[in-house]
Amino acid sequence: MSLFALIAALLLEQLHPLSSRKYLHGWLSGYVSFFQQHLNAGQRKHGKIAWLLAVLPLLVGVAALYWLLCSVHPVFAWAFNALVLYLTMGFRQFSHYFTDIHHALRDGRLDEARGLLTNWRGIPSHELNAEEVARVTIEEALIASHRNVFGVIVWFVLFSAVGLGGAAGALLYRLGQFLRKRWGDEDAAAEPDSLLDGEWGGGEFGGFARQAFYVLEWLPIRMTAMTFAIVGNFEDTAYCWRTQAASWPDSEAGVLLASGAGALGVRLGMPIPQGGLPLDRPELGVGDDADADFMRSTVGLVWRSVVFWMILLLLLTLASWLG
C-alpha cells in the first residue's frame, strides 16, 4: 500500500501541482507561532515543551485517523496516505526555479538566472558568474530534492513498516523541518554566539528544534547519499562522502552535497562572492566545473533515485505478500 500511495502522490503532483500550498504554509506558520508566543521564555526546556505540544497531538491525530479509515476500508486509509504525501512532498515545490535557471543559463541570460537564484535562496546572487550560478543551483536542488522528496519517503516508509501509518511519518519529518527553520534558525540568526555552546546551540528556545531535526535527518540524509552512490558514480560518491563531507559547515548537509557531487562527477562548494567579499566554502566533489549540462545531469540523478526507491518498495511489497 505504501508504494501505491507514493505513486499516486507523485502522479497527482505532476498532473495537478498544489496551488494552495502557500495557504497551508500560512496556517502552519500561525499554528507554530501560537506555541512560540505563549511558551518562549528564552530557555531550551521551554522550546522542548513547545515542540512536543506542537508535534505530538498532530501525530496522534493523524495516526488515529489512519487507523479509523483502515477499520472502515483499507482503500480509505490508502487514499489518506496519498493525500498527506501529496501535501508534504513533491518536486514542484522547487523544480520551477531549477528549470527556469537552467533554461536561462542555457540561453545565455545570466542576469535572469541570477535573479531567479536570488528569489529561490533569498540571498543576493548578482555577483555570481555563470559557473557559480550553476554550481549553487545544483547544491540547492540536491538539498531541496532530499528535504521535499527523499526525507519524506524515508519517514513515510519507516512509520508504515511499524504499523503506525505512513502519513504520520511524513508529517513528523516536515513538521520537524519547519520548526527547525522557524524556531531553530531564527534563534540562531538572532543570537549567533549561542551556537558556539554546542552543535545545537546553548539554552535558547530554538535549540531543541535544531536537535530534533538533526535526529530526524540523520538516517534519511544517509539513505539519500547511499541512493546517489547506487544510481551515480559509486566510487567517487564514497570517496567524496568519506573525505569531504565533514569539511562543510553543516556536516549533515555536507554528506548530501559531497555524495551528490561525487555521483555527478562535478565540483561543488568552493568560494563564491557575497557582499563584495569572497565567501569561503570548502571544495566538494571531483571532476569538472558546473554548467548547464551538469544541471540536466542533476535532474537525471534525482529521477533515477526516485525510480530506485520505487523498485525497492516494490520488492518489499512483493516480499510481504509472498511471506
Integer Cα distance of 118 and 65 in angstroms: 41
Mean pLDDT of 74-103: 89
- Cβ-based neighbour number of residue 267 at 10 Å: 18
Stated as kind and residue range, the H or E segment containing 279 is strand 277-279
User: What is the per-residue pLDDT across 173-229, written as a single tens digit (0 to 9) for each?
Assistant: 999 999 998 887 665 554 444 443 344 444 488 889 999 999 999 999 999 999 999
How confident is the model at residue 184, as a pLDDT? 74
Integer Cα distance of 43 and 92 in angstroms: 37
Q: Which pTM was predicted? A: 0.88
How confident is the model at residue 39, as a pLDDT? 83
Integer Cα distance of 285 and 220 in angstroms: 21
Distances (CA, A) of 6 to 2, 97, 279: 6, 24, 39
Confidence of residue 40 (pLDDT cuts 50, 70, 90): confident
Q: Which three cell numbers stand for residue 118?
A: 536570488
8 Å CB contact between 222 and 255 = yes
Which is more confidently placed, 144 or 36? 144
Which is more confidently placed, 249 or 26? 249
How confident is the model at residue 142, as a pLDDT? 96
How confident is the model at residue 173, as a pLDDT? 96
How confident is the model at residue 132, as a pLDDT? 96
Least confident of 69-73, 186-190, 248-252: 186-190
Confidence of residue 60 (pLDDT cuts 50, 70, 90): very high
96 DSSP β-pair partners: none
- List the domain boundaries for the chain: 2-322
Q: Where do runs of H (alpha helix) occur along the chain? A: 2-15, 21-39, 44-72, 74-88, 95-106, 110-121, 130-145, 151-161, 166-179, 186-190, 207-231, 234-244, 251-264, 292-322
